[in-house]
Amino acid sequence: MSLFSFVAIYFVMSPVMSTQQITPTPEKAPPQAPSLAAPKHRRQLPIYSWAILALLLVLAYDALFSPAMFSIRFEHGRLYGSLIDVLHRGTPVMLLSLGMTAVIATGGIDLSVGSIMAISAGLSALLLTANDVATGAPITPHSAALAILAGLAAGLLAGMWNGFLVSFLGIQPIIATLILMIAGRGIAQLITDSKIPNFHNATFEFLSNGSFLALPFTISLAILMTALAVLLTRATALGLFIESIGNNAAASEIVGINTKLVRFMAYAFTGLCAGLAGLLAASDIRAGDVFKTGVNIELDTIVAVAIGGTSLVGGRFSIAGSIIGAITMQLLKTTIISSSIPPECNLVIEAAVVIIICLLQSPRTRTTLKRIFSKTQ
């Protein structure tokens, strides 16, 4: 059902996102004078077209070889099925890719999202646990509201730290976020005294395990955050500023865009999304595993954003594309697991996908293909 909602978003948003132009009817020009008609513009495909193609290819493979994946059943007031599972498990990467899209579009990158997730998960679990981490003595756990706020605040603060390093100290994004990626996991381990605090809190567990309108609550969160991100970037000039900074930061400065503030906000938003993803991770296992939460998730996120059509050197971006990319990657993972392909092939297939996407996005491929096709005509 959510797949249809995403297709619906495509149709609703396409006037906002696609760059189609109306071809004007050429005037009847005098025979000798050169034509004064405006040149015909070819309708351009939206940025996330390749992402949709990739998704459809994986779905087609599933339809042919494991049609059982499409079965959905209704039990105890909610839907269950492989596709629902894909959307549920893909939510952390979806949330992270929202922020990562903005950051990459400004020409940067954020490697620390996994560590921020660990900090958020550890902090919220620490607040909710009923046993002191150091001694094991029973203590009164705090409320779910405090844990949620603490996790989000930790994520936001971490994101603001990254933004401060990149925007105001001028450190290269890859190094600035690498610092938090390395140190952040240490901080998370310090917070929980290198232990894994577990907890029982019905409200907090609802985040990852509850259901809303017959779907897992995580999907509602993903839709909410996606809508927020789309509104922030497309209903305001922020998206335009982000694209401008990614394309040419110096020119954007001269034109009067506050590049420092826009970049800062992009990293802060990414931190917030990572904080939320960390809360979901803790809620999922009812514990704050600071060692395993978010390990290598930044790579998956970057791949999802790349599939979605966002240029990795900065500039044009597509939030819908990143979401579709995240869903495609999760679907790919699930397809590999449920089919007879050994799970070790997962990484090799992901590598092939990344290489194909890179080649497709490269401008040189297009000129080479054009030359091939113009020769055959």
Partner 1 sequence: MQKRVLAIAQNPVFSTAVVCIILYLVAGFTSAHFFSTRVAVNLLQDNAYLGIVAVGVTFVILTGGIDLSVGAIIGWTTIALASMITTHHVHPYLAMAIILAVTTINGAILGSLIHFFAIPPFLMTLAGLFLYRGWALLISTSTISIDHPAFNPLSDTLLKLHTGSGNVPLRLGIFVLLAAFAIAAILTRFTAYGRSLFAIGGSENSALLMGLPVARNKTLVYAISGCFAGIAGIVATTRSAAGDALSANGLELDAIAVAVVGGTLLTGGVGGILGTLIGLLIFGIIQTVVNFHSLDAAWTRIAIGTLLLSFILLQKLLRLSRTSRQSP
Binding residues for partner 1 (CB under 8 A): 109, 111, 165, 169-172, 174-176, 178-187, 189-190, 194, 299, 302-303, 306, 312-313, 342, 344-352, 354-355, 358-359, 361-365
Residue number with CB closer to partner 1 (22 or 372): 372
Task: Give the shortest CB-300-to-partner 1 separation in angstroms.
Answer: 10
Task: Give the shortest CB-290-to-partner 1 separation in angstroms.
Answer: 9
Nearest CA to 165 out of 112, 92, 89, 94 is that of 112
Helices and strands (H, E) in the chain, number of each type: 16, 4
Say which amino acid occupies 168: F
Residue number with CB closer to partner 1 (61 or 291): 291
CB 311 within 8 A of CB 361: yes
Residue number with CB closer to partner 1 (214 or 352): 352
Residue number with CB closer to partner 1 (143 or 362): 362
Residue number with CB closer to partner 1 (109 or 272): 109
CB 26 within 8 A of CB 283: no
Task: Give the shortest CB-249-to-partner 1 separation in angstroms.
Answer: 14
Task: Give the shortest CB-191-to-partner 1 separation in angstroms.
Answer: 9
Residue number with CB closer to partner 1 (162 or 283): 162
Task: Give the shortest CB-240-to-partner 1 separation in angstroms.
Answer: 23
CB 220 within 8 A of CB 208: no
CB 307 within 8 A of CB 56: no
Task: Give the shortest CB-304-to-partner 1 separation in angstroms.
Answer: 12
The Cα–Cα gap between 210 and 195 comes to 26
Angle at 275 between CA 273 and CA 276, to 5 degrees: 65
The Cα–Cα gap between 145 and 206 comes to 12
Residue number with CB closer to partner 1 (39 or 342): 342
Residue number with CB closer to partner 1 (6 or 164): 164
Task: Give the shortest CB-70-to-partner 1 separation in angstroms.
Answer: 27
Task: Give the shortest CB-358-to-partner 1 separation in angstroms.
Answer: 4
The Cα–Cα gap between 360 and 355 comes to 9
- The first and second tokens of residue 1, run together, are 């059902």
Task: Give the shortest CB-144-to-partner 1 separation in angstroms.
Answer: 27
Please, which residues have CB within 8 angstroms of residue 52's CB and are 6 or more apart in sequence?
A: 10, 324
CA distances to 23, 29, 41, 127, 290 from 33, in Å: 22, 7, 22, 79, 74
Task: Give the shortest CB-348-to-partner 1 separation in angstroms.
Answer: 4
Residue number with CB closer to partner 1 (187 or 225): 187
**Beta strands, E only, the chain:** 72-75, 78-81, 211-212, 215-216
Residue number with CB closer to partner 1 (141 or 271): 271
DSSP category for residue 138: B
Q: For 175-243, what is the HEC assignment? A: HHHHHHHHHHHHHHHHHCCCCCCECCCHHHHHHHHCEECCEEHHHHHHHHHHHHHHHHHHHCCHHHHHH
**What is the CA 167 to chain-centroid distance, rounded?**
22
Entry field: residues in the chain = 377
